[in-house]
Amino acid sequence: MATIKDVAKLAGVSVSTASVALRGKGPVSEATRRRVIEAARALDYQPNAIARSLVTRRTRTVGLLLSDLTDPYFHEIAKGVEAVLSRAGYALILADTDRSPEKELRAYEIFRSQQVAGMILAGSGTEDEAHFEQLEKRDVPIVTLGRHRSGLPCVAVDNVQAAKTAAQHLIETGCRRIGLIAGPPGLLAAEERREGYLAALAEHGLSPDPRWMLVGDFTPAGGYRAAMELFTARGLDRHDRPDGLVAGNDQMAIGALKALRELGIRVPEEIAVVGIGGIPTGEYVEPPLTTVALPLKTMGEAAAQMLLCRIERGGGSLPEQHEEHIWLETTLLVRSSTRARSAR
């Protein structure tokens, strides 16, 4: 690999002149600038970001921490993050915690040692965000996605409202006995969505039967198991059964749909199902899934953008100028897993 020294030598200038010329900042005669650029091209010179970072004390890398690379929730988010970052010339260091504290710690250490300019924390993570908040204090800006309780800057959606919208849609289309497959306890999004579900029911004077409330793990398999249990293991007779079901996320809704098909329970006629998330797959299952769509790509872009702002503003651990929380809107996507409005 050619170094700036090689470039300088070939161009017949000093290293510092080469440095200045290459970056276009500072005073250089047009002639030498040209010579240096030319030399750089001839040598296929690529600046060594490592060396540069060491002296400038800032890198152009950001760490993205997420809890499961195979969870569709993260795919568009990651895509959005990557797009914004790479356009800005930043490198994205990705770490998957697999929801394991050890892996999270390892990721944290890698990020630190790599001197990331900032980090994006997506998904649950450990309850214990202590290390991260500490980092924030040391001038490593952090933006979280969905962890709005953490005291860290955050891009999020109103999960309570999202679940409320889901349940309301069910109510408006005629459901009265509405069940829930909640996400894993302890996960903020799951708790909030449960809350929204309860609130919507309460607002309409509907009381949720505890037998209709299940817990899944945000995976399709979890949704499948929950729905199976709901309809086979809970001793519900024909009129005790729910006629509507809110799933804590699309993944579980999709699993539930499969269980219902296997049980010969018609959707939406016998039970309407609504998910939360808006992942692309929802369109391709049977019936196509009605869902409260989260602006996933936008969430990723916004988080990256916000982080970039904070990084480039510099030393921004106490910024008042910009909002610390961005709330994005969700949208109800009505497909066929719920009844048409007119069927009310």
Partner DNA sequence: ATGAAAGCGCTAACAT
Partner DNA sequence: ATGTTAGCGCTTTCAT
Give the one entry of DNA, its own copies, none that residue 76 binds, where binding means its C-beta sits below a cut-off of 5 to 8 angstroms depending on kind: its own copies
Instruction: Decide whether 7 or 142 has the Cβ nearer to DNA.
Output: 7
CB of 329 to its own copies, least distance (A): 21
Give the one entry of its own copies, DNA, none that residue 5 binds, where binding means its C-beta sits below a cut-off of 5 to 8 angstroms depending on kind: DNA
The pair of structure tokens assigned to 227 is 């729905």
Q: What is the DSSP letter of 265?
A: -
Q: Which is nearest to 339 in space by CA: 265, 250, 268?
A: 268
Residues 72, 123, 338: CA angle, nearest 5 degrees: 50
CB of 64 to its own copies, least distance (A): 8
Question: How many residues of this chain bind DNA (CB under 7 A)?
Answer: 29
Residues 103, 304, 71: CA angle, nearest 5 degrees: 45
Instruction: Decide whether 59 or 124 has the Cβ nearer to DNA.
Output: 59
Instruction: Decide whether 9 or 99 has the Cβ nearer to DNA.
Output: 9
Q: What is the DSSP letter of 90?
A: P
Give the one entry of its own copies, DNA, none that residue 31 binds, where binding means its C-beta sits below a cut-off of 5 to 8 angstroms depending on kind: DNA
Q: Which is nearest to 108 in space by CA: 130, 92, 123?
A: 130
What track of x and - describes contact with DNA for positions 2 through 41 (by CB under 7 A)?
A: -xxx------xxxxxx-xx-xx--xxxx-xxx--------
Q: Which is nearest to 92 in space by CA: 77, 71, 72?
A: 77
Give the one entry of DNA, its own copies, none that residue 75 binds, where binding means its C-beta sits below a cut-off of 5 to 8 angstroms depending on kind: its own copies
- Which residues contact its own copies by CB under 8 A? 1, 46-51, 53-54, 59, 61, 68-70, 75-76, 78-79, 82-83, 86, 89, 91-96, 98, 103, 106-107, 109-110, 112-115, 138, 220, 254-255, 257-258, 261, 280-281, 283-286, 288
Q: In angstroms, rounded to a whole number, what is the distance separating the alpha carbons of residues 188 and 123? A: 9
343 lines the binding site for DNA (CB under 7 A): no
Give the CA-trace dihedral at 183, 184, 190, 196, to 10 degrees. Answer: 60
CB of 75 to its own copies, least distance (A): 5
Contacts of 205 (CB under 8 A, 6+ apart): none
Query: Which alpha helices (H) appear in the chain, and where do they start and end?
Result: 4-11, 15-23, 30-43, 49-56, 73-87, 101-113, 130-137, 159-172, 188-203, 220-228, 250-263, 296-313
Give the one entry of its own copies, DNA, none that residue 14 binds, where binding means its C-beta sits below a cut-off of 5 to 8 angstroms depending on kind: DNA
CB of 90 to DNA, least distance (A): 16
Give the one entry of its own copies, DNA, none that residue 257 binds, where binding means its C-beta sits below a cut-off of 5 to 8 angstroms depending on kind: its own copies
CB of 58 to DNA, least distance (A): 9
Q: Which is nearest to 81 in space by CA: 121, 141, 136?
A: 121
Given a contact cutoff of 8 angstroms between Cβ atoms, the answer to whether 152 and 188 are in contact is no
DSSP run (H or E) holding 62? strand 61-66
**Applying CB under 7 A, which part among 48-56, 146-154, 248-256, 281-289 lies near DNA?**
48-56
117 lines the binding site for DNA (CB under 7 A): no
Given a contact cutoff of 8 angstroms between Cβ atoms, the answer to whether 35 and 11 are in contact is yes
Give the one entry of its own copies, DNA, none that residue 4 binds, where binding means its C-beta sits below a cut-off of 5 to 8 angstroms depending on kind: DNA
User: Which residue ranges make up the site for DNA (CB under 7 A)?
Assistant: 3-5, 12-17, 19-20, 22-23, 26-29, 31-33, 45, 47-48, 51-52, 54-57
